[in-house]
Structure 1
Amino acid sequence: MQKSIIVLDMVNYISNILLIRACNMYKRAALLNTKEFPLKLANYICSRWQNGSAPDIALTDPVTNEILATASSNGIDIASGLNYARTVGGTALRTLSYAERAELLGRIAELFATKRGEYFDISQKNSGATEGDASFDVDGAIYTIKTFARAGKTLGNARYLIDGATIPLAKTDVFQGQHYMVPLSGAAIFINAFNFPAWGLWEKAAPALLAGMPVFVKPATPTAWLAQRMVADVVEAGILPPGALSIICGSARDVLDHVQECDVVSFTGSAGVAAHVRAHPVVIANSVRVNIEADSVNSAILGPDGTQDTPVFNLLVKEVVREMTIKTGQKCTAIRRIMVPKAIATRLGEAIAAGLADYTVGNPRNPAVRVGPLVSTTQRDDALAGLARLKSECTVLFGGDSNFMSVDAEGSTAFLQPTLLYCDRGLAAEHVHDIEVFGPVATIVPYTDTAEAIAIIRRGKGSLVASVFSDDIDFTGTVTLGIADLHGRILVVDNAVGSGHTGHGNVVPTCLHGGGGRAGGGEELGGLRGLAFYHRRMVLQGPKTLIDAFKANGVDAVLLNA
């Protein structure tokens, strides 16, 4: 099909995407530097911007409590939007090759790079993000899109993937079998969490679009402004075909009532809501493919060789402090439990506490601040409730003061002081292994031997990531094999690696992201492996001439392992 489909004129595009409540006097770009709030976040479906009806949900600045925007999906015809995405967006995407779709991703990444500063501003206002927090989200999104754009070019002009060798099915080669992976003809429906409005959207959307599936996203409402703005910029630039990208702001409402057999659903959020997604009668009836990323009580483990002032000891201290403070601990991959040999547990606690003392908590607009607020007072209340339960079986080593004074943020109640706890109950503890406080909270749990360390880690019932800090290769190998079936990623740091590792909490787009058990049992990213979720594996049995003809339009799926 002509490449002109890529740059089709979006005649239905409405330029005033972000509306001012009283009137529409100012251009969108000027809104970032004015007090003309709240905005009205429109929904984009069927290639049209549409406002939901009242009541609206408010998006606030967690520092000032100012209402920045409102959102509503009430009255939006989600069924029609999904059908439009499938029939218009999906059809257009699949007329393009992998390489052509990769080119579109590259253009999106270039666009986002030019608007990086504006996205940082939104992130600061709506999420309370520091400069580093905003970079983690926004730059992470751009890097992920670029990664899939580069990888997609290696798939060339193919339109489906050849999976494995030809299988002889007769005494001669006249009748053969060949496995293929073909793009699904439905919509990729994303229900995302509040902590990564940029990366959380594009780490899913990049492989979906590359695979040829249209994206239909419902970002978490409290921080939806950034996701909606990025979608608006892509729409305005005319990069994708009509129907390839849709967004619903506000409640997800009845989206799962309308899923079909060739759709996929990817959910990031609490295990409780995830259970409802999996158990939805339409999801079950249509055998809809579901990917879940849920609760994760991630662990960091110090080996028995990691005595005080050894390189691995200091590396672990640095990593724990970083994981507790970046994004104010609001990361699904953050360190929640720290396993350490009992003999040096006290020393480790002192070292981490000393590191946390250097981090100023307050208004991210203040250049002295290194830790911002949680995204809302509601989130802070939830975190305090979880922290109270943890305190019932732990000792506080640092922080934990619900009345502490944040810097330059008078009147705000969205702040939570970084809190380090100590629990000496091991496997007998309950809350430490079951409760993920989604904020700057971590607990030191001492162990006596390798077997107990493995047992304590496994007590978390499945996590996205665990990290092992040790120069003892026998310890590292035993722990890795002992917990591998419950973890999607295991990071090992020794003296040779030093500070050259990618980070406990960093999700690298070329590596798998997901985890077993409580963490949801899903998989995302992993380079081109991420395309598998958006394809259906099938086997074609037929004459050799037909098999050869099909091969001509495919590409070897071994590239998924590149």
Structure 2
Amino acid sequence: MTVTAHTRYESGLPPLGNLVDGQWRLAGEGFDVRNKYTDELIAELPEAPAETVTEAVRVLDRAARAELLTPADRATVLRRTAELLEERREAFATLMIDEVGFTRSDVDGEIDRAVVTLGLCAEEATRLTGRTASFASSPGQHHRLGFTVRVPLGVVCAITPFNSPLNTVLHKIGPALAGGNAVVLKPSGQTPLTAALLCATLLDAGLPPSLLALLHGVDARVGELLLAEPDIAFYSFTGSTKVGRAIQRGAGLRRTQLELGSIASTIVCADADLDRAVPRIANAGFRKAGQVCTSVQRLYVARSIVDEVTERMVTAATAMPSGDPRDPSVRVGPMISESAATRVSDWLAEARHGGAQVRCGGGRNQSVVEPTVLVEAQSGMRVVDQEVFGPVLTILPFDELTEAIDGANDTPFGLAAGIFTQDIDQALRAARSLRFGTVHLNEPSSSRADSMPFGGVKESGHGHEGPAYAIREVTEERLVTLNPADPG
């Protein structure tokens, strides 16, 4: 194919190809990357052919066995990548504003967090340790010594989503590289350019080219080819539960880390500090156009304060203008596609027809959906029972805390939840009873620090991100024993 770039973007685009052993390959059927607000063509990229996938994995497997970098070398590369990321902030920002639809505040948050993630990965590269093992309980073996070491798995495959095309990518490939693995990255076909610029930056920072491959694709084909490669030892995936199930089936006995679907809830008790709670909830519900797996979707509010919270949420939502993400005053940009925005609009129409009331927002202009606050919604409506993945927040009143906890738990998912209360007994009761991978006290469901363990339960997946935890996912523990001569 002939790889093309729109003239407006030519000077600022990363290499437009699949990356194998340091070479950018142009072979493959082309697909378009478009501006998510204007629908303007940014570039055409090649999907990775089957032979490119096979070659990439073969190169990576050979490099992984060669131990090309010491732990200190890995840390140096990751720190240098963080420095280059700061130097190239505007290039990354331009790409994410256009190919993802991020506003400037979304972009700055993504880049700031990515720098932190790289620093954390660099630290973990040099302090990955095992533990000692005891033989004292076995008669006649008390003189033996034992310890474990962590060793890399080999080739790690990272399959990443559109809604965090920089930091989520780094949460997968950063720990993998820090642990001594080689990595093949398959980014979202909707946001491949940010991933390409990141890969180019890693190479510029000194990463040996044979340790990193980038393979593009817009549908399941490239992912299926990667699942069929026996030399891949580990799969890390963020996306839908449906695709996660397919990856788990295809991986077989190989290890996986899966971050899947979510319906995130936050609870506001009668004694909550609303000056603190409401701004955090509004940001957590509407940033990145609500396209975050932990975005507040269900907001359970004590009935005694539901009117006040509703009015405050409406005020907060209307103070977040939506529209062109290049406009610095805009807080809520477009969704990833017009079809995604149309789906949300259809769900809102269905909810209205069923008796729900839109207190603010609800409008759609092509791919932009206004921040929306719903009341009077009921179980059975898709805005309540399915993952909206858009800027829609539904307020649900409760009388007893048990009612809110049971409601939040009543989904197949369990990624993150939040509760606002000044009562320590209520807080601990919620922490024990909410079946989620993370329960935030006096923070909303979408409240993540990059150093913390992050992962779900139930159909939200298994395994953890967070560099100190992810690096253990992508390494294996090996026991070494020593049996000295009996001194007696």
User: In the aligned structure 2, how far is the partner of 1:431 from the partner of 1:325?
Assistant: 18
2:16 counterpart of 1:31: no
User: In the aligned structure 2, how far is the partner of 1:195 from the partner of 1:49?
Assistant: 25
Residue 177 of structure 1 deviates from its aligned partner by 4.2
Q: Which residue number corresponds to residue 263 of structure 2?
A: 297
Q: Which residue number corresponds to residue 166 of structure 2?
A: 198
The letter for the 1-side match of 2:58 is N
Of 303, 307, 311, 1:350 maps to 311
The letter for the 1-side match of 2:216 is C
2:34 counterpart of 1:60: yes
Q: Which residue number corresponds to residue 431 of structure 1?
A: 382
2:209 counterpart of 1:242: yes
Query: Could you say what secondary structure the match of 1:57 adopts?
Result: strand
Answer yes or no: is the 8 Å Cα contact 1:387–1:437 preserved in 2: no
2:52 counterpart of 1:77: yes
Q: Which residue number corresponds to residue 408 of structure 1?
A: none
Of 2, 5, 16, 1:41 maps to 16
Of 254, 259, 275, 1:288 maps to 254
Q: Which residue number corresponds to residue 441 of structure 1?
A: 392
Q: Which residue number corresponds to residue 410 of structure 1?
A: none
The superposition leaves residues 352-399 of structure 1 with CA deviations (integer Å, 9 ceiling, x where unpaired) of: 011111122111222332221112213222333444454446322221
The superposition leaves residues 230-284 of structure 1 with CA deviations (integer Å, 9 ceiling, x where unpaired) of: 112322x15111321111122452433433376110111111111111122xx22
User: In the aligned structure 1, how far is the partner of 2:323 from the partner of 2:71?
Assistant: 46
Alignment of 1:111-150 (within 5 A): 111-150=84-123
Alignment of 1:431-470 (within 5 A): 431-470=382-421
Q: Which residue number corresponds to residue 309 of structure 1?
A: none
CA RMSD of aligned residues (A): 2.6
Residue 154 of structure 1 deviates from its aligned partner by 3.9
Residue 59 of structure 1 deviates from its aligned partner by 0.9
Query: Could you say what secondary structure the match of 1:263 adopts?
Result: strand
Q: Which residue number corresponds to residue 333 of structure 1?
A: 294
TM-score of the aligned structures, taking structure 2 as reference length: 0.91
User: In the aligned structure 2, how far is the partner of 1:441 from the partner of 1:26?
Assistant: 34
Residue 91 of structure 1 deviates from its aligned partner by 2.9
TM-score of the aligned structures, taking structure 1 as reference length: 0.79
Alignment of 1:253-402 (within 5 A): 253=222, 254-260=224-230, 263-280=233-250, 283-284=251-252, 287-306=253-272, 312-391=273-352, 392=354, 394-402=356-364
Residue 138 of structure 1 deviates from its aligned partner by 2.1
For structure 1, the residue ranges without an aligned partner over 5 or more in a row are: 1-17, 33-38, 156-160, 307-311, 405-412, 494-500, 546-562
User: In the aligned structure 2, how far is the partner of 1:20 from the partner of 1:65?
Assistant: 16
Query: Could you say what secondary structure the match of 1:539 adopts?
Result: strand
Distance 1:448 1:52, change over 3 A: farther
Q: Which residue number corresponds to residue 407 of structure 1?
A: none
The letter for the 1-side match of 2:406 is A
The letter for the 1-side match of 2:459 is R
Query: Could you say what secondary structure the match of 2:455 adopts?
Result: strand
Distance 1:121 1:380, change over 3 A: same
User: In the aligned structure 2, how far is the partner of 1:172 from the partner of 1:472?
Assistant: 52
Q: Which residue number corresponds to residue 213 of structure 1?
A: 181
User: In the aligned structure 2, how far is the partner of 1:190 from the partner of 1:334?
Assistant: 23
2:145 counterpart of 1:171: no
User: In the aligned structure 2, how far is the partner of 1:108 from the partner of 1:264?
Assistant: 24
2:151 counterpart of 1:182: yes
User: In the aligned structure 1, how far is the partner of 2:83 from the partner of 2:419?
Assistant: 37
User: In the aligned structure 1, how far is the partner of 2:194 from the partner of 2:151?
Assistant: 33
User: In the aligned structure 2, how far is the partner of 1:430 from the partner of 1:98?
Assistant: 52
User: In the aligned structure 1, how far is the partner of 2:468 from the partner of 2:326?
Assistant: 39
Answer yes or no: is the 8 Å Cα contact 1:397–1:421 preserved in 2: yes
Distance 1:382 1:26, change over 3 A: closer
Residue 19 of structure 1 deviates from its aligned partner by 5.5
User: In the aligned structure 2, how far is the partner of 1:424 from the partner of 1:131?
Assistant: 33
Aligned residue pairs total: 478
Answer yes or no: is the 8 Å Cα contact 1:60–1:69 preserved in 2: yes
Alignment of 1:465-504 (within 5 A): 465-483=416-434, 486-493=435-442, 504=445
Query: Could you say what secondary structure the match of 2:198 adopts?
Result: helix
Same amino acid, percent of matched pairs = 25
Distance 1:387 1:481, change over 3 A: same
User: In the aligned structure 2, how far is the partner of 1:475 from the partner of 1:26?
Assistant: 55
The letter for the 1-side match of 2:180 is G
Distance 1:164 1:424, change over 3 A: farther
Answer yes or no: is the 8 Å Cα contact 2:77–2:202 preserved in 1: no
The letter for the 2-side match of 1:59 is V
Residue 341 of structure 1 deviates from its aligned partner by 0.9
